[in-house]
Structure 1
Amino acid sequence: MLLAIALANSHYFLVGSSYLGGFPLGQGPVDRAVAWATTTFVDGRAFPMFGLLFGYGVAQIVRRQGDARPRTVRRLLWRRAGVLVVVGFLHAVLLYVGDILAAYGVLLLVGAWAVRWRDGWLLGVAAAFWLLTALPGDGTLADATEGPDLATMLPTDLGAMLVDRAFASAFIASLGPVGFACPFLLGLWAGRRRLLERPAAEHRARRARGLLAVGLGGVAAAAVGAQPLALLQLGGGVVPDGPTLSRLAALHDATGVLGGLGYAALIALLALRIEESGRAGRRVVLALQAVGQRSMTCYLAQSVVWTLAFTPALLGLADDLTIATDALLAISAWLLTVALADWLRRTGRRGPFEVIVRRATYR
């Protein structure tokens, strides 16, 4: 998930003369191929997976509270949401304006009321929000045709950066309950049934078949739905008119939700296979597991890399990197976080931001 988020975030810093989906146009064939692959398999597919796992984690928190009163559980979730809003706001202002932690914090402030909903309500409301995603509209990342805002993403003036990023962060956070409600509610539903966790031995074969069907179906739907935009990336210079681009972006985003669900299912299936094969104790598996256990710390660490790499007063690589070399930077940043998380695991340390969230949530 964090590798996909790194690939999704970094290309929005690149400077060019024209854009489609946040990618500069007019670059070489390798760059266009990378843009096609990222549009098909990453953009608009990583964040729904994040939202599903976020809702799944909330369901786990609620389950651990046992028979606690609903009001007690809501207050616990609200404390967690407050930490996400504060950390996300500071992250957006100081490092990366595209932060999503604050948006998930606002989502949880509202979504805490949904943890006691019946399954039918969870699935019905999730479906309604998914249909909203499928409606054409303006302002989605999939139809972005402008480059980075120098005052916010690539600041040259500290004062303007702080003001502009504060307003941008507040706006992005306010969209959380709408933009991520569908995968969040589906995550709550799946978390109640522990669908991504180890089943009893007699249910393993059936669970594996279900995960495989959801995984392949979701990823295939996302890949097909992305092609109208992705194939334009291969063209390297054609930008449709506004209404057409809006419809293509809506299709891209709606199928991306299905892709996020598919990725989560395939990763859960892979985890089952790794456990059954006896490879769960291998170094690479443990390192990836350590990233998951320290996901907030690793997510924020990526933004340190973006700040160093793209800020004009620092390395200022926004003019120098191509789409392909930017993808290599994103992969390298993710690998650095894997090494960091593995070092924390081997030395017996939690992620620092996981400690903050836990202490604020559980006091």
Structure 2
Amino acid sequence: MTGPTGLATRKITPDLARGLLLALIAVANAHLYLVDRPIGYRGYPSGLTGADAVIAVVQMVLVDGRVFPLFAALLGYGVARLADRAPEAVVRRRGLVLIGIGALHGVLLFPGDIIGAYGLVILLTAPAVASSTSRGLLAAAGAVGAFAVFLASGASGPQGVPTVPSIAAPTLGAFLAGHPGEWLATTLFSALLTAPAVLVGIVVARSGTLDEPAAHRGRLALWATGGLVAGVALGLPLALAVVGVWSPTGVVGGLVAAAHAAGGYAGALGLLGLMGLLGSVSWPGRGLVAAAGTWSMTLYLSQSVVFVAVFATIAGGLGRTATLTTATLVGLATWFVGVVVAGLLARAGHRGPFELLVRRLTYLGGKSTAL
């Protein structure tokens, strides 16, 4: 067993995928900060028209419900690599550290935090990472995923209220008051939804597909094509509901919500395949985005700082008036600035502050300054 992996020995494709994924996370979260208006399906404002409606449909079939399973798969990849060089106790400690960071993020800034859920999944699956076969992990992923899709069918109607109501809170006290309960509920449900993707990510790591993408272009192309087509097809019915084309109710509404959730897993696999293909060829900016991917947790947390500062009523207040187009552009601009700054710092040999914190706490004084 050894300590953390050094920067020079990292594979570029997983980091590239994390860097690109941060753009999708920014887009996925930005619309949740739109408040003081009727809220429909999946936290989107009701009555979207024009460019806002087009953006909503694109996000629903390519981003919404697809991003966090993809992030979870990359987490599973990292967990498998950690388990290759560290004992189970270290893997469990990594899970506890992520739960702690997620709790702070959720209570202080954004109760829709996903880090705590990933930490919980790591904690619960740590014993199986080294001992289970890939076939067993995929079987478990299928069973848990089917149950998660079934539960998702219950959330079939318009929300009525913002996903993050505290964004509209007029005072700091009111802003913070509801976060603990909201974070806990989100963490438990998100852990269930993302656990299958974490298990699949462990299997992907074992396959070596992301380590040598040029040698697996056929497999990656199959993932990209099949996953994205299935994700779009399964997500389109709910996407059309978001923009008011129809209003599925009853059993039909449940089936539409379940299809969207199932499409999330397929779409995540498709995006992973696409990012793997992008990692197999050279293109301008690839190295910078991959370098920024080594700061993925720091950049994810920094996005919440920016969004609260810009959108929350107690700060910039833009969430009360911004359109979906504006929110999306703010999200993409936040990602772009983060990639440039973090990418340049990473290339200069600097580690992300939260990445350093996680490693120091995980290895308890070991080689925490390495990656």
TM-score normalized by the length of structure 2: 0.87
Can you give the 5+ residue segments of structure 2 that lack an aligned partner in the other structure? Answer: 1-20, 365-371
Alignment of 1:1-363 (within 5 A): 1-15=21-35, 16-65=37-86, 73-115=87-129, 116-135=131-150, 137=152, 140=155, 143-148=157-162, 152-198=166-212, 204-205=214-215, 207-235=216-244, 238-274=246-282, 279=283, 282=284, 284-363=285-364
**C-alpha RMSD of matched pairs (Å):** 2.0
2:358 aligned partner, one-letter code: V
C-alpha separation in 2, matches of 1:144 and 1:169: 21
User: Does the 8 A contact of 2:223 with 2:272 survive in 1?
Assistant: no
- Uncovered stretches (5+) of structure 1, i.e. residues with no partner: 66-72
Check the 8 A contact 2:248/2:256 in 1, yes or no: no
Quick check: 2:43–2:159 contact (8 Å CA) kept in 1?
yes
Per the TM alignment, residue 182 of structure 1 is displaced from its structure 2 partner at its CA by 0.8
Equivalent position amino acid for 2:81 in 1: Q
Would the alpha carbon gap of residues 121 and 153 (structure 1) be closer, same or farther in structure 2, given more than 3 Å must change? Answer: farther
Q: Is the contact made by 1:291 and 1:341 (CA closer than 8 Å) also made in structure 2?
A: yes
CA shift, 1:137, in A, is 4.2
The 3 A distance-change label for structure 1 pair 111 and 312 is same
Q: CA deviation at 1:17?
A: 2.1
Q: Which moved more, 1:50-59 or 1:161-170?
A: 161-170
1:140-184 deviation digits (Å, cap 9, x = unpaired): 5x7552232675343323334333101111222223442111111
- Paired AA for residue 211 in structure 1: L
1:20–1:316 distance in 2 versus 1, CA, 3 Å: same
* 1:326 partner amino acid: A
Residues 168-201 of structure 1: CA deviation (Å, up to 9, x unaligned): 11222223442111111111111122221116xx
8 Å contact kept, 1:135–1:247? no
> What residue in structure 1 maps to residue 8 of structure 2?
none
Contact 1:14–1:147 at 8 Å: present in 2 too? Answer: no
How far residue 243 of structure 1 moved from its aligned partner, in angstroms, is: 3.9
Query: Separation in 1 of the partners of 2:172 and 2:189?
Result: 26
Is residue 81–residue 104 contact of structure 1 (8 Å, CA) maintained in 2? yes
Aligned 8 A contact 2:39 2:162 in 1 = no
- Aligned counterparts of 2:90 and 2:80: Cα–Cα separation in 1: 13
Find runs of 4+ consecutive structure 1 residues off by over 4 angstroms.
136-140
State the one-letter code of the partner of 1:40: V
- One-letter identity of the residue aligned with 1:267: M
User: Does the CA-based 8 Å contact 1:136-1:249 persist in structure 2?
Assistant: no
The size of the alignment, in residue pairs, is 342
**In the TM superposition, what is the alpha-carbon distance from 1:216 to its structure 2 partner?**
0.8
Deviation at 1:50, TM superposition (A): 0.5
- Aligned partner of 1:210: which letter? R
Tell me, in whole angstroms, the C-alpha distance in 1 between the residues paired with 2:278 and 2:157.
33
